[in-house]
């Protein structure tokens, strides 16, 4: 009889192969299938006692550890929904995922995850840590001090229709689409994988891909566990080419799965440091993108095993099509193989099946294909037609039911979106540790967007509509920064000091990282936005360059660096007069952006490091790469959470919409930094953030104690109190309590009387989803 739930499959394997090694970490821990089942049931009991109920979403953010395996299965075991998240996400990304999924609990390793915990705290989501000390000890959850009993879980029976997994996919990562996968989806998929690759308890594998991703999770982990395979996790908790073959040899691995870039790294390491002998592999699986034929041939020659290319999608719970094992058929180059366990067809826009050899859209259907995206009827209407999922990929079918992966298929939204969730390795042969791990690329690249010949010409025509910035040649700008004196680095590139023209004019040259699609968006946004703006408190854009895949921006040189340099890095001690002038300048330019431009400009990343200072210490707001021009009447339709931790308004996490009010919030945070000389978040200095710290001094009626102690008594008390009050009001967690920028300017300029006693003595809490209909009554003009 077919087993229709993942928990049922796990129970069956634990019964038939109790002493088989299920999960192992070299030199640390080894769990048999019987032990694994016990640890999972114990963890599920603890989760139930912590308040987790059937249907609740529980977020997990772990590297590739035993605790992740146990807790993922435990959440599913108690009929809740697990949402695995990339542990290298920023707080903003965590905030979006936690809010979008409706997570009721966050689970992390014992050492925690600062970014995830910050996002969870903003959303009032409880957080627990987990630790397994040995194979025979029970897993522990912080704050849960009960002795777990297996009796409770013996009464819990999973249903095939239970939603088990919450993932995000997207053809446009500015609007991620949630995908819910059921127990039946998972059971069908892992059995398909088990069947096509003939996985048994004689097999073993080493996990290469991150398990928060559908490739590593379903193909690497769950399909192996459902087949009784021994799964080895890297002792370093992430892939390392230098340690990979040692683990493969130790566990006598028979197969592994990876994406093309990791295959390339494994191959490069072999060519530079070959092993004396390699384990006898049955096959190597490759998915996520097209594998170059030359790389495939080299892998097969080096490791003596067939490389099986596959087509995988999140909506199909991973595997959709695969080339067969040698004994089951011939491998065809540039083919993703035959459908695996479901219907796969080439159809037109109306759902009609196209003839053999005719190129059209790939559509799939079957028991492991999700019924639709969560809360997204518009996407479902387009993608799910005639009981099939329309992938957006283009291919053509062969006479033997094989499908050819054309470039358009590999570059299609449905295909590439899953690549975006894989934490790709760095150019070195090891995955970076901790926060230095690569961030996921969140949007698709196209030749035009990457500045190909056609794309560069289109950008030039678009930019030439605006007067002001000059179109420089790449050679000219590289000559300008020949000394490579770096001024700073950001997420999308580096800024260098340079000199241009016969006059050797000093400039700042920002070289965009062309591997970053977000960097491409930043480049275009910066040129278009700054070309239309004129204000004394803006960093002037002098010019730009886009040749082939090179993108460069040229700014007026700011001799005194950033406000961040002076407040926090000791470049100089800013006098009170200078601080007050900077605050007024920032307020003035924000008023210009929100009230005086043809369209309202939402900056989205106002922070101290984006406020530059010229030789007169005049504030200049810069970095408009994330800015958006919006109509005053309609407001922002931006749905991508992006910005900097600590400066982002609470509602931004839940609505994902930037607005004038979210910029006012960021402005308020900067005002408090200017007054106090403290970073908004500095856990080494104080466990509470700057906003709460400032409220503490307000409650004590000692506002002047919030002024930077390095100033001594050399400050204007009335001005300081005005800046603190304006900062607290602007950074108010309730949107409608924030003043407009005009009202904030009136406070700063001492033209508005503020009644502190009308502010709450207790620092207000973010209502998040509550709709507050109130007005700021504390301002008197």
Annotated binding site for ATP: which residue ranges? 510
- Do residues 183 and 158 lie in contact, with contact meaning Cβ atoms separated by under 8 Å? yes
Annotated binding site: 510
Q: Quote the CA–CA distance of 568 and 576 in Å, as a whole number.
A: 15
**Helix or strand holding residue 480 (H, E):** helix 474-480
- Do residues 99 and 178 lie in contact, with contact meaning Cβ atoms separated by under 8 Å? no
Angle at alpha carbon of residue 519, lines to 518 and 524, rounded to 5°:
100
Q: Quote the CA–CA distance of 122 and 469 in Å, as a whole number.
A: 41
Place of tokens 């509470």: 688
Q: Which pair of structure tokens corresponds to residue 406?
A: 């054309």
Partnered with residue 106 across adjacent β-strands are 59, 127
Q: Are strands 611-613 and 600-602 parallel, antiparallel or unpaired?
A: unpaired
Q: At what angle do helices 741-748 and 717-730 cross, to 10 degrees?
A: 160
Q: Quote the CA–CA distance of 619 and 584 in Å, as a whole number.
A: 9
By three-state DSSP, how is residue 718 classified?
helix
Q: Quote the CA–CA distance of 376 and 428 in Å, as a whole number.
A: 40
- As separate numbers, helices (DSSP H) first and strands (DSSP E) second, the chain gives 25, 33
- φ/ψ of 403, rounded to 5, equals -120, 135
- Do residues 509 and 496 lie in contact, with contact meaning Cβ atoms separated by under 8 Å? yes
* Cβ-based neighbours of 431, under 8 Å, separated by 6 or more: 238, 239, 240, 423, 425, 437
CB atoms within 10 A of CB 466: 14
By three-state DSSP, how is residue 443 classified?
coil
The upper half-sphere exposure of residue 148, i.e. CA atoms within 13 Å in the direction of its Cβ, equals: 23
- Taking only Cα atoms into account, the Rg of the chain, rounded to an integer number of angstroms, comes to 28
Q: Which pair of structure tokens corresponds to residue 62?
A: 């772990």
- Do residues 562 and 464 lie in contact, with contact meaning Cβ atoms separated by under 8 Å? no
SS (H, E, C) 585-648: HHHHHHHHHHHHCCCEEECCCCCHHHEEECCCCCEEECCCCCCEEECCCCCCCCCCCCCCCCCC
Q: Quote the CA–CA distance of 696 and 689 in Å, as a whole number.
A: 11
Q: Are strands 403-405 and 388-397 parallel, antiparallel or unpaired?
A: antiparallel
The upper half-sphere exposure of residue 505, i.e. CA atoms within 13 Å in the direction of its Cβ, equals: 14
Burial 295-328 (b: 16+ CB within 10 A, else e): bbebbeeebebbbbbbbbbbbbbbbbbbbbeeee
- φ/ψ of 599, rounded to 5, equals -125, 150
The upper half-sphere exposure of residue 64, i.e. CA atoms within 13 Å in the direction of its Cβ, equals: 27
């Amino acid at each position: 009889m077919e087993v229709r739930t993942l928990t049922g499959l796990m129970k069956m394997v634990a019964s038939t192969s109790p002493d088989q090694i299920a999960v192992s970490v070299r030199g640390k821990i080894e769990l048999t299938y019987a032990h694994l089942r016990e640890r999972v049931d114990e963890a599920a009991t603890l989760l139930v006692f912590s308040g987790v109920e059937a249907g609740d979403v529980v977020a997990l953010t772990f590297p590739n550890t035993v605790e992740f395996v146990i807790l993922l299965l435990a959440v599913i075991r108690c009929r809740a929904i697990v949402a695995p998240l990339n542990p290298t996400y920023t707080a903003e990304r965590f905030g979006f995922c936690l809010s979008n999924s409706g997570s009721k609990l966050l689970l992390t390793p014992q050492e925690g995850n600062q970014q995830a915990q910050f996002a969870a705290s903003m959303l009032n989501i409880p957080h627990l840590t987990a630790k397994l000390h040995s194979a025979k000890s029970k897993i522990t959850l912080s704050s849960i001090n009960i002795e777990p009993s297996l009796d409770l879980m013996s009464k819990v029976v999973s249903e095939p229709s239970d939603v088990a997994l919450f993932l995000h996919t997207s053809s446009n990562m500015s609007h991620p689409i949630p995908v819910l996968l059921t127990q039946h989806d998972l059971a069908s998929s892992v059995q398909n994988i088990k069947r096509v690759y003939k996985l048994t308890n004689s097999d073993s594998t080493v996990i290469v891909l991150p398990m928060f991703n559908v490739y590593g999770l379903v193909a690497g982990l769950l399909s192996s566990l459902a087949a009784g395979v021994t799964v080895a996790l890297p002792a370093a908790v992430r892939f390392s080419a230098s340690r990979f073959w040692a683990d493969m040899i130790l566990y006598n691995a028979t197969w592994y799965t990876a994406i093309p870039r990791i295959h390339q790294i494994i191959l490069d390491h072999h060519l530079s440091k070959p092993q004396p002998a390699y384990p006898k592999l049955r096959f190597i699986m490759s998915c996520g993108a097209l594998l170059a034929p030359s790389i495939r041939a080299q892998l097969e020659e080096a490791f003596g095993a067939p490389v099986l290319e596959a087509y995988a999608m999140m909506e199909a719970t991973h595997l959709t099509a695969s080339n067969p094992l040698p004994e089951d058929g011939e491998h065809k180059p540039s083919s993703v193989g035959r459908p695996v366990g479901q219907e796969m067809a080439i159809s037109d826009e109306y759902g009609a099946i196209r003839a053999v050899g005719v190129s059209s859209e790939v559509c799939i259907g079957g028991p492991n294909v999700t019924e639709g995206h969560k809360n997204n009827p518009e996407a479902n209407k387009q993608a799910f037609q005639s009981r099939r999922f329309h992938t957006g990929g283009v291919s053509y079918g062969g006479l033997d039911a094989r499908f050819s992966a054309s470039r358009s298929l590999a570059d299609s939204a449905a295909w590439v979106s899953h690549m975006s969730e894989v934490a790709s390795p760095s150019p070195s042969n090891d995955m970076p540790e901790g926060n230095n791990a690569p961030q996921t690329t969140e949007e698709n690249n196209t030749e035009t967007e990457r500045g190909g010949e056609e794309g560069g010409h289109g950008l030039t025509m678009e930019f030439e509509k605006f007067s002001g910035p000059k179109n420089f040649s790449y050679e000219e700008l590289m000559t300008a920064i020949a000394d490579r004196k770096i001024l700073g680095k950001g997420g999308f590139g580096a800024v260098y000091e340079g000199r241009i023209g016969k006059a050797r004019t000093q400039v700042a040259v920002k070289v965009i990282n062309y591997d970053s699609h977000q960097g491409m968006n930043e480049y275009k946004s910066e040129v278009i936005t700054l070309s239309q703006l004129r204000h004394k408190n803006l960093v002037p854009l002098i010019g730009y360059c886009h040749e082939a895949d090179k993108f460069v921006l040229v700014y007026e040189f700011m001799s005194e660096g950033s406000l961040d340099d002076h407040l926090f890095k000791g470049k100089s001690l800013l006098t009170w007069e200078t601080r007050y002038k900077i605050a007024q300048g920032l307020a003035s330019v924000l008023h210009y952006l929100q009230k005086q431009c043809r369209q309202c400009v939402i900056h989205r990343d106002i922070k101290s490091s984006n406020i530059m200072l010229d030789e007169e210490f005049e504030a200049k707001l810069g970095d408009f790469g994330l800015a958006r021009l919006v109509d005053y009447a309609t407001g922002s339709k931006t749905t991508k959470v992006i910005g900097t931790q600590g400066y982002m308004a609470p509602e931004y996490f839940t609505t994902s919409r930037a607005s004038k009010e979210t910029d006012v919030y960021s402005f308020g945070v900067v005002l408090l930094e200017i007054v106090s000389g403290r970073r908004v978040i500095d856990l080494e200095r104080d466990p509470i953030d700057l906003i709460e710290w400032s409220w503490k001094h307000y409650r004590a009626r000692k506002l002047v104690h919030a002024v930077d102690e390095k100033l001594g008594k050399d400050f204007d008390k009335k001005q300081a109190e005005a800046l603190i009050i304006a900062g607290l009001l602007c950074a108010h967690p309730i949107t409608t309590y924030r003043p407009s920028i005009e009202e904030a300017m009136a406070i700063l300029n001492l033209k508005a009387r503020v009644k502190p006693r009308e502010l709450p003595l207790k620092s207000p809490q973010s209502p998040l989803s509550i709709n507050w209909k109130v007005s700021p009554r504390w301002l008197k003009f």
